[in-house]
Structure 1
Amino acid sequence: MLQNERDIFNVLFEAVSEGVIVVDTRQKIILTNASAERMFGYDKSELVDKDLIVLIPQEHHATHGAHVEGFLKQKESRQMGRGRDLYGAHKNGTVFPVEAGLNPLQINGETFVMALVIDISIRKQQELQLQELNTKLEKKVFERTLELSNTVEALKAVNLDRDAEIKKRIEAQNKTKDALKKEKELNELKTKFLSLVSHEFKTPLSGILTSAMLLGKYKLSEQQDKRDKHIKTISDKVHYLNNILNDFLSIEKLETGKINYKFNTFKISKVVNEVVYNANMLLKEGQIINYPESIDDYSLYQDEKIVELALSNLVHNAIKYSSENTIVDIEIEQDDKFTSFVIKDNGIGIPINDQKRIFNRYFRAENALLTQGTGIGLNIVKSHLENLGGSISFKSEENKGSVFTIIIPNKAK
């Protein structure tokens, strides 16, 4: 190597920020740079020709030789100490954590090993601090969890007291076992109601709030279309929330037997017009409702609001579970005793495995879980119709659509 090249090599060798230590096959140190000397606290003269083991902590002497010999046999670059911590021994006797990479060298037919050493004391301190912070955080989480657990236990105690009071009240009134079962189901309904409120109310309420805030930004007359858009969003969301509340009120009345049906004679076309008018506001792009033919002469002596509720539920479901550019058919027929309402759609249909549970309260078909809904509408409709001497049935095929049929007596008893 020319003198100029050697000078350049020495400058680069000394300028490397990592500690560089070169040893021969006898593990004798033959060369070090300034970074290594500062790291271990030695002068160059104190390290050259010394055993490498002088830089290894006493407790690691026994295994160090075998590791180096194994490396010399493989003769390939690698990170030293994988899976375990490495430490260096300072001249003053202190031990500090390091990272080391080993690289084999062949010079003039002789084998050497160059070790690149980094002092990672600061990193280890930071890791220790992070670990301490994690420990403190875990302790806080544990304490908060314990507090929450105590709160839950307190709530359980409150609920137990409430249940005991309910039971005493039932016993005092000499209720039957069936009445106790209905009270229990009502409590379960209230619990599920709280869960549904948090889920089903949050999204529409957020939409209402957002639209209300945006309305204030569109003050110019030419921005009326944007105002109309947000007003429609608010109207739709409020309508949806109102329907949910009505559903829960209906269930409570059905369960407690407090519902009073109001019978009167009315034109079926009046109910259909109201249902279609409200449904038109829910239609997706390209959706159409086919109005039933020849129903002007049809009348019923029934609870008008219940008939409208049942028909609205089926029409709204047909719209909700069908895609854009589809048709919803309403067909109505009447004979001397009964009137049938048939609602057809081309929507997602009901999976065969879910069809037997479709009228169960809170049940949602597997393919409808991502669509808004409480799973109680059909249950309410079925209960009302049976109370009025009617029935509801359906035929459905997944991805092809559904046909729901309501049959109700022309005259309530």
Structure 2
Amino acid sequence: MFQKDQDIFNILLGSVSEGVIVVDENQNIVETNDSAEKMFGYNKGELLKQPLNILIPQNYHANHGSHFKGFMKQKERRRMGQGRDIYGVKKDGTTFPVEAGLNPFSIYKKDFVMALVIDISVRKEQEEKIQELNTTLEEKVFHRTKELNETVGQLEVENQKRIKAEKEAKSALKKEQELNELKTKFLSLVSHEFKTPLTGILTSTILLGKYKLTEQQEKRDRHLKIIADKVHYLNNILNDFLSLEKLEKGKINYKFSNFKISKVLNEVVYNANMLLKDGQQINYPENIDDISLFQDEKILELGLSNLVNNAIKYSSEHTIIDIDITQKKDVTIFKIKDNGIGIPEKDQKNIFNRYFRAENVLLTQGTGIGLNIVKEHVGNLNGKIYFESTENQGTIFTIELPNKAQL
């Protein structure tokens, strides 16, 4: 009935409801079925001969190669993402949660891996709805209990002191719980934000040792850049944590001086240029050579660097970051505009809160304390910071500082 084995294979693939992706030992895609192509948003045959990384979010690339090599050595069937969430990325760049089972096999003395992939977006949404319902129920129970306690307190005058003591105890317990939650979140954050860059540095260091030929200089340069970028990222995290500690303990001694704004901006743009993605460009403001401030120069540089670096991080390739500076009689206004992913409306009220990260950047490296630090410093200098943002269109952050600091 069938002319070739390939016909049988294609019909079997087409009958499988899960997405099927077959890769060779070099992680190149050699076969897919209709379900997989539809799941990831590709046309028929479009994925063939493409690297597997095209279906994996960018921030997972660094670790995936070593995981794949380890799996090929063991050659045992297993499920991916045990104990943690895994994600795929569609052709249009959107990410979505998946489950995947890996099945190694060999044909004609060549090793392959067949992955069965399931889109679990609906399940995740249902889990979140259930969690929201549980939270709402707990809040209702808490409020009903509180109302009942208050009623009992009103009816029993003799118990007023006891009720007051209970409220104070609950308040103290709540503060202690919040503190413990912050500590736990902080430790988890530090562990994650340090582990990922360190893994990248280690991987690049190992690979550098393998590129010994003169014609491999381009590969060496690429890994040296990866190492430099990771070290720069870790250094920024450490600086953020040190700044945060000083702010909390009130140990900041601001150093005020007269300086040209162009001097600070040149340093900010110079450092930012090393972080630009392909095709990204920073538009330098015009007519600022004669603008001066009497402020803390380093704090201004810190604030502008944070905003410009965020604009680069959360914007795609071939986009523009605009910097605009105007000086009025009593205040100087700095505007940083990008055409990036924007901030979801429901997250905007929390964007300056410590450790908070908007839902559309959870897969991007970051600590959630940079904007909090900038806001604290700007406030201490009698200035203000605010923003306008539309999701998927871009964001404009604005800093206003007095032209002359109050000593």
TM-score (norm 1): 0.54
Asked if 2 retains the 8 angstrom alpha-carbon contact of 1:342 and 1:403, the reply is yes
Distance 2:241 2:367 in 1: 10
- The 1:189–1:260 alpha-carbon spacing in structure 2 relative to 1, beyond 3 Å, is farther
One of 317, 327, 352 as aligned partner of 2:310? 317
Question: Match for residue 299 of structure 2?
Answer: 306
Asked if 2 retains the 8 angstrom alpha-carbon contact of 1:182 and 1:255, the reply is no
Counterpart mapping for 1:162-173 below 5 A:
none
Question: Match for residue 387 of structure 2?
Answer: 394
One of 345, 348, 355 as aligned partner of 1:362? 355
One of 241, 249, 253 as aligned partner of 1:248? 241
4+ aligned runs moved over 6 Å, structure 1: 181-188
Question: Match for residue 236 of structure 1?
Answer: 229
Match status 1:197 vs 2:194: no
Q: Which amino acid aligns with 2:265?
A: V
Counterpart mapping for 1:145-184 below 5 A:
none
- The 1:183–1:333 alpha-carbon spacing in structure 2 relative to 1, beyond 3 Å, is farther
Distance 1:185 1:327 in 2: 40
Could you tell me which runs of 5 or more consecutive residues in structure 2 were left unpaired when the two chains were aligned.
1-173
Counterpart mapping for 1:9-408 below 5 A:
190-408=183-401
| Superposed CA offset, 1:373-403 (max 9, x none) | 1111111100000000110010000111001
Distance 1:307 1:189 in 2: 28
Shift of 1:336: 2.5
- The 1:292–1:371 alpha-carbon spacing in structure 2 relative to 1, beyond 3 Å, is same
Paired residue secondary structure (2:191): helix
Distance 1:261 1:227 in 2: 42
- The 1:389–1:403 alpha-carbon spacing in structure 2 relative to 1, beyond 3 Å, is same
Distance 2:369 2:186 in 1: 11
Distance 2:179 2:288 in 1: 40
Distance 1:255 1:408 in 2: 22
Distance 1:183 1:333 in 2: 45
| Superposed CA offset, 1:172-225 (max 9, x none) | xxxxxxxxx999988765543321111111111001111111112222222222
Question: Match for residue 3 of structure 1?
Answer: none
| Superposed CA offset, 1:9-45 (max 9, x none) | xxxxxxxxxxxxxxxxxxxxxxxxxxxxxxxxxxxxx
Shift of 1:256: 0.8
Paired residue secondary structure (1:314): helix
Paired residue secondary structure (1:233): helix
- The 1:411–1:323 alpha-carbon spacing in structure 2 relative to 1, beyond 3 Å, is same
Distance 1:185 1:324 in 2: 39
Distance 2:401 2:371 in 1: 16
Question: Match for residue 58 of structure 2?
Answer: none
Asked if 2 retains the 8 angstrom alpha-carbon contact of 1:264 and 1:303, the reply is yes
Paired residue secondary structure (2:219): helix
Asked if 2 retains the 8 angstrom alpha-carbon contact of 1:186 and 1:252, the reply is no
| Superposed CA offset, 1:310-358 (max 9, x none) | 0011101111111111100000011221111000000111111111111
> Larger radius of gyration, structure 1 or 2?
1
Distance 2:222 2:255 in 1: 38
Shift of 1:372: 0.9
Distance 2:280 2:376 in 1: 30
Paired residue secondary structure (2:385): strand
Distance 1:240 1:335 in 2: 35
Paired residue secondary structure (1:382): helix
